[in-house]
Structures are given as C-alpha cells and as structure tokens.
Amino acid sequence: MDFYQPEVLSDDVVATKLARPGKQIMFLTADWCGDCKAIKPFVQNFKNYIIEQGMDWVDVDRDENIEIAKAQNLRGIPAFVLFENGQQIKHIGDGERLNPKDVQRFLETV
C-alpha cells in the first residue's frame, strides 16, 4: 500500500477552504506522527469517498498550520474534522491510533 501524501497548504489557503459554504473534511496530520503513518494507507480511499459525496477535502499539516490547529482547539493527530459553512461540527481523533473502520463510519455520518 502507498502512503497518502497530503498537500501542504498555507494557513491562508486552509482558512479560505474551511470557510467555504457547505461541508469540508479536514485531515490533520504530521510527517513525524506514527499514528498518522498507520492510517495513511487508507486516507486516499477516505478522500475519494468524501469527494464522491460532494464535499471538499482539506489537508492540514499540524506543524505547518499550527495556528489553524490551535484556533480549532485540535491537539491530537491524526484527526478527521467536519466543517460546515466554516464552523467545526465534530471530529474523530485525539492523538490515538485510529481504526480505519471507525474513520469510515465517522465519514459516513457526515
């Protein structure tokens, strides 16, 4: 399996994407994070599913976008975060190793 390679975006680009109308899923990760590496073989499938549902996907690097993570009170990675109309609604992941089935169930409820 290939690891998903998140796109590195500036804080301004991330903020603009998250403020759009509708729903967005933010994937919060970091290169050094072991639990992030464990979930990355499944992330492309998650992204494809979200896009097929008509939602936007936003990659956020916890180190490059620390101000975004702080502003959203997100401390644990990996995390998948639902935004709707610019507001954080809910998320899964608080620094623990995520089970791909649990992430898929979370995404199916958004």
Decide if 97 contacts 64 (C-beta within 8 A): no
Instruction: Decide if pLDDT at 41 tops 70.
Output: yes
* Structural domain 11-109, CATH architecture: 3-Layer(aba) Sandwich (3.40)
Tell me the CB-side half-sphere exposure of residue 91, using CA atoms within 13 A.
23
d(CA 3, CA 43): 8
Tell me the CB-side half-sphere exposure of residue 7, using CA atoms within 13 A.
11
Predicted confidence (pLDDT) per residue in 42-82, tens digit: 999 999 999 999 999 999 999 999 999 999 999 899 999 99
pTM > 0.85: yes or no: yes
Q: What's the mean pLDDT in 19-34?
A: 96
Decide if 93 contacts 27 (C-beta within 8 A): no
List the domain boundaries for the chain: 11-109
